[in-house]
């Protein structure tokens, strides 16, 4: 099993570097929005996941888990969002002032796909290294299929919310809209995970 | 094509993360999982096609 400090340092370092990149290309306002949207969604969804007993992290400690997932989800989503935004909005997307809602949804959709592609490699390695352990039946090299649905949902909703608040047609009152959108995202992710989890269970159970 | 901080930096970090994961996989005897790197490499390939101007727009 890997030393618990190694994955923690890896995600914290890479998340800080991504945050620095966002600060340089978009400024401190967008960086604050990204952190205020990504981190609470990651911490609450992962808390629900660990509390439900579906999986557990190497630290077996909610505070360390929260630090790991808060930085980890920035590391997971940011580069995939970057590629999706370049694909939909062009190479100079970071200079844009607004992004229409339809293109926002498309970016979120693609970010989710790219994040899942990343996780198809990351999850088996992480499970092998013992960074997290699944306590439910698994289908993909030690990871359950529901995990990938969760990855897509978190990447999609976090990205779309960030773009909605950071590239608006009008200025939002962020102190009001960030918590509202984060709560909507969490409810959306939990509901969709429940629905798709049931569908997957039925499909995998067979006739 | 010159490297650009705004456009290329996140993908260089992404590739570094993949390399570190591969090295950890080798170190902890996970050779049988390393072929899965083909999936994140799809993202890298999409990015390279974008930067070369084959797909996407300016």
Tally the domains of chain B.
1
Q: Is B25 within the bounds of a domain?
A: yes
The pLDDT tens digits of the residues spanning A104-133 come to: 999 999 999 999 999 999 999 999 999 999
Chain B residues whose beta carbon lies within 8 Å of the beta carbon of residue A122: 21, 40
**Residue A207 — very low, low, confident or very high, per pLDDT cuts 50/70/90?**
low
pLDDT at B58 over 90: no
H runs (alpha helix) in A52-97: 62-89
Looking at chain B, which residue has its C-alpha nearest residue A83?
Answer: B47
The pLDDT tens digits of the residues spanning A154-177 come to: 999 999 999 999 998 777 888 899
Tally the domains of chain A.
1
A129 contacts B30? CB cut-off 8 A: yes
CA of A16 to nearest chain B CA: how many angstroms apart? 11
Chain B residues whose beta carbon lies within 8 Å of the beta carbon of residue A78: 10
Beta strands in A70-171, from DSSP E residues, in sequence order:
132-134
Q: What is the pTM of this model?
A: 0.95
Q: Is B47 within the bounds of a domain?
A: yes
For A94, the enclosing helix (H) or strand (E) is none
pLDDT at A205 over 80: no
**Which residue range is the domain that position A43 belongs to?**
5-205
Interchain contact A120–B (C-beta under 8 A) = yes
ipTM summary value = 0.95
**Which residue range is the domain that position B32 belongs to?**
5-52
CA of A207 to nearest chain B CA: how many angstroms apart? 31
């Amino acid at each position: 099993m890997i030393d618990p400090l190694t994955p923690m340092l890896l995600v914290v370092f890479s998340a800080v570097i991504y945050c620095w990149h966002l600060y340089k290309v978009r400024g401190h306002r967008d960086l604050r929005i990204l952190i205020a949207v990504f981190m609470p969604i990651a911490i609450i969804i992962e808390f629900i996941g660990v509390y439900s007993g579906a999986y557990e992290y190497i630290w077996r400690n909610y505070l360390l888990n929260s630090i790991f997932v808060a930085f980890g989800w920035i590391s997971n989503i940011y580069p995939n969002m970057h590629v999706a935004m370049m694909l939909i909005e062009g190479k100079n997307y970071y200079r844009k002032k607004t992004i229409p809602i339809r293109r926002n949804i498309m970016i979120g959709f693609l970010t989710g796909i790219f994040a899942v592609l990343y996780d198809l490699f990351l999850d088996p390695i992480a499970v092998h290294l013992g960074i997290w352990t699944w306590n439910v039946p698994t289908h993909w090299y030690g990871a359950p299929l529901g995990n990938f649905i969760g990855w897509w949902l978190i990447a999609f909703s976090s990205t779309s919310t960030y773009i909605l608040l950071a590239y608006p047609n009008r200025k939002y009152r962020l102190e009001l809209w960030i918590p509202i959108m984060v709560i909507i995202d969490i409810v959306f992710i939990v509901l969709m995970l429940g629905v798709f989890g049931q569908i997957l269970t039925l499909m995998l159970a067979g006739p | 094509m010159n490297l650009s901080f705004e456009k290329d930096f996140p993908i260089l970090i992404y590739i570094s993360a993949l390399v570190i994961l591969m090295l950890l996989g080798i170190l902890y005897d996970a050779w049988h999982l390393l072929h899965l790197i083909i999936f994140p490499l799809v993202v890298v390939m999409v990015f390279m096609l974008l930067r070369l101007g084959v797909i996407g727009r300016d």
